[in-house]
């Protein structure tokens, strides 16, 4: 990683951003803007259009026309693949620039951001580009004299609303399969992480994506997001974010055209460590990284550590030592292992969870405070809380910050009860040398993904989705196409 280039990019001014609608750049229809505040130093970085209902409607109309006239939806899969592969190449060529821009906007440490953001988006777009001309229809096993064919067709206009923690990665999880399938998209980024998605939308036009096929409108969820959710011209809505917003999107679907809604709503993921874990030091390292990297702002973060009582004290002490050695600070320094919290609002929410735990008599083993206030940015020390009870808010609700709740257990059954003791079911992990136990835990824990002797790192070949109040539908893998392709039966009498 070229440190001098990072420093040069850090100092570059960032031009005011503009919507991408119908293949052109636009200001908000009423000229209003929002400040983009960098969590690195709390200073304004640039501005975004404060999108209006009219802006959202223009983007939806553009996407609808683009889909209906077939400029993209009726291109062959091989033609779509060619454009998408060129798009991926253009993103890859600007990977470092995109990573630095994203870090300046949302605070993820650069070592993680480069891999998890532009390079991840490149891999995702290439994956779905290569896959689309390898999906076949079906011939049904019908009686003589009849022929049943099952066609796969693009679902239509997709509304995509994505979060601020990994905008390029999660955005690509939506855009890759949707565009490969032939859909048109209206994308609404998060207010605090829009710049890189706007930039790759421009690169998509450079790659030959027709105008109107990908539109990006920035603004507030209550305006732009609501317009997309309530539109009669949006056929599919995909969202990653909070449960409260997910519920509002479902209500909007019911009020409008009953569009299909797919939701990834986060989690309160358990990381279960048995005394026979194959390597406690490795489990400590992975546990710390699984909650404290990106300042805990990861959907699948292992926010609950469930550790067998016989090793509880030893494990927590090792974890404390490792966590206190992590470098929290300037996210554009490649030596940093945990960057900034995304916003002042998010930092305050994190600290409130800790204050509540302290008031309830829980032990703050380390952290629990804002640090580096002299920078003007938003930084929080990795925080470990022990003595957490199953009914505590810290054990039940997603913090989305570097705060780990620790609970001991005495038996496998108790571990399962604790693991399944929330409304969520996105991710989990189990550390054990007992192969039979590992399989039992995978079966018994209610989660979309269960890691064994690791945490995180699964690639595009496997789906990511949750159960319970973690949502429905899947990103990643070939199963992601299910959201963006409709099945149509053709029935012939021969």
Which residues are identified as catalytic? 264
Structure tokens at 270: 């358990």
Q: Which residues contact 110 (CB under 8 A, 6 or more apart)?
A: 1, 6, 99, 100, 103, 331, 332, 333, 334, 336, 339
User: What 8-state DSSP symbol labels residue 12?
Assistant: S
Structure tokens at 100: 């630095």
CA distance 53 to 219: 10
Asked if residues 67 and 157 have their Cβ atoms less than 8 Å apart, the reply is: yes
Tokens 């454009």 sit on residue:
83
Helix axes 167-181, 118-131, angle to 10 degrees: 20
Strand-pairing partners, residue 160, are 187, 238
Strand-pairing partners, residue 431, are 273
Number of other residues whose CB lies within 10 A of the CB of residue 413: 10
Q: Report DSSP letters for 230-250, one per residue.
A: H-TT--EEEEES-HHHHHHHH
Asked if residues 161 and 221 have their Cβ atoms less than 8 Å apart, the reply is: yes
CA distance 258 to 271: 37
User: What 8-state DSSP symbol labels residue 18?
Assistant: -
Q: Where are the alpha helices (DSSP H) in 12-160?
A: 53-68, 77-93, 95-106, 110-116, 118-131
Asked if residues 45 and 53 have their Cβ atoms less than 8 Å apart, the reply is: no
Q: Which helix (H) or strand (E) holds 304?
A: strand 304-308
Asked if residues 10 and 100 have their Cβ atoms less than 8 Å apart, the reply is: yes
CA distance 479 to 55: 32
CA distance 492 to 190: 48
Q: Which helix (H) or strand (E) holds 186?
A: strand 184-188
């Amino acid at each position: 990683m070229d440190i001098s280039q990072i420093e040069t990019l850090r100092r570059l001014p960032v031009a005011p951003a503009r919507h991408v609608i119908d293949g052109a750049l636009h200001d908000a229809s009423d000229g209003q803007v929002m400040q983009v505040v960098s969590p690195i130093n709390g200073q304004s970085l640039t501005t975004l259009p404060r999108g209006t209902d009219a802006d959202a409607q223009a983007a939806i109309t553009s996407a609808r026309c683009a889909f209906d006239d077939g400029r993209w939806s009726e291109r062959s899969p091989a033609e779509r693949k060619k454009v998408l592969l060129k798009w991926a190449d253009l993103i890859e060529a600007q990977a470092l620039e995109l990573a630095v821009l994203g870090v300046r906007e949302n605070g993820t440490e650069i070592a993680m951001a480069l891999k998890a953001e532009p390079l991840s988006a490149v891999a995702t777009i290439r994956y779905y580009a290569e896959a689309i001309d390898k999906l076949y229809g079906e011939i049904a096993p019908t009686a003589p004299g009849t022929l049943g064919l099952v066609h796969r067709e693009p679902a239509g206009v997709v509304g995509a609303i994505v979060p601020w923690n990994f905008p390029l990665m999660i955005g690509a999880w939506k855009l890759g399969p949707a565009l490969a399938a032939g859909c048109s998209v209206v994308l609404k980024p998060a207010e605090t992480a829009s710049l890189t998605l706007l930039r790759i939308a421009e690169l998509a036009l450079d790659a030959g994506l027709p105008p109107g096929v990908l539109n990006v409108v920035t603004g507030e969820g209550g305006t732009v997001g609501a317009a997309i959710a309530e539109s009669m011209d949006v056929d599919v809505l995909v969202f990653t974010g909070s449960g409260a917003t997910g519920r509002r999107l479902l209500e909007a679907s019911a009020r409008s055209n009953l569009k299909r809604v797919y939701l990834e709503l986060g989690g309160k993921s358990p990381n279960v460590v048995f005394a026979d874990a194959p390597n406690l030091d490795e489990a400590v390292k992975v546990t710390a990284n699984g909650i404290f990297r990106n300042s805990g702002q990861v959907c699948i973060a292992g926010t609950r550590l469930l550790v067998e009582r016989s090793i509880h004290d030893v494990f927590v002490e090792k974890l404390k030592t490792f966590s206190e050695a992590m470098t929290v600070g300037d996210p554009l320094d490649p030596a940093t292992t945990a960057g900034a919290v995304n916003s002042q609002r998010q930092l305050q929410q994190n600290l409130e969870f800790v204050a509540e735990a302290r008031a309830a008599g829980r032990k703050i083993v380390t952290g629990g405070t804002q640090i580096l206030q002299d920078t003007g940015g938003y930084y929080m020390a990795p925080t470990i809380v022990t003595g957490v009870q199953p009914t505590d808010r810290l054990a039940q609700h997603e913090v989305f910050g570097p705060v780990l709740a620790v609970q001991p257990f005495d038996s496998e059954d108790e571990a399962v009860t604790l693991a399944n003791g929330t409304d969520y079911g996105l991710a989990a992990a189990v550390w054990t040398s007992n192969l039979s136990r590992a399989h039992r835990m995978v079966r018994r824990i209610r989660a979309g993904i269960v890691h064994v002797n690791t945490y995180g790192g699964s690639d595009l070949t496997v789906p990511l989705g949750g159960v319970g109040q973690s949502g429905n539908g899947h990103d990643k893998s070939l199963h992601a196409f299910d959201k963006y392709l409709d099945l149509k039966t053709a029935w012939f009498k021969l």
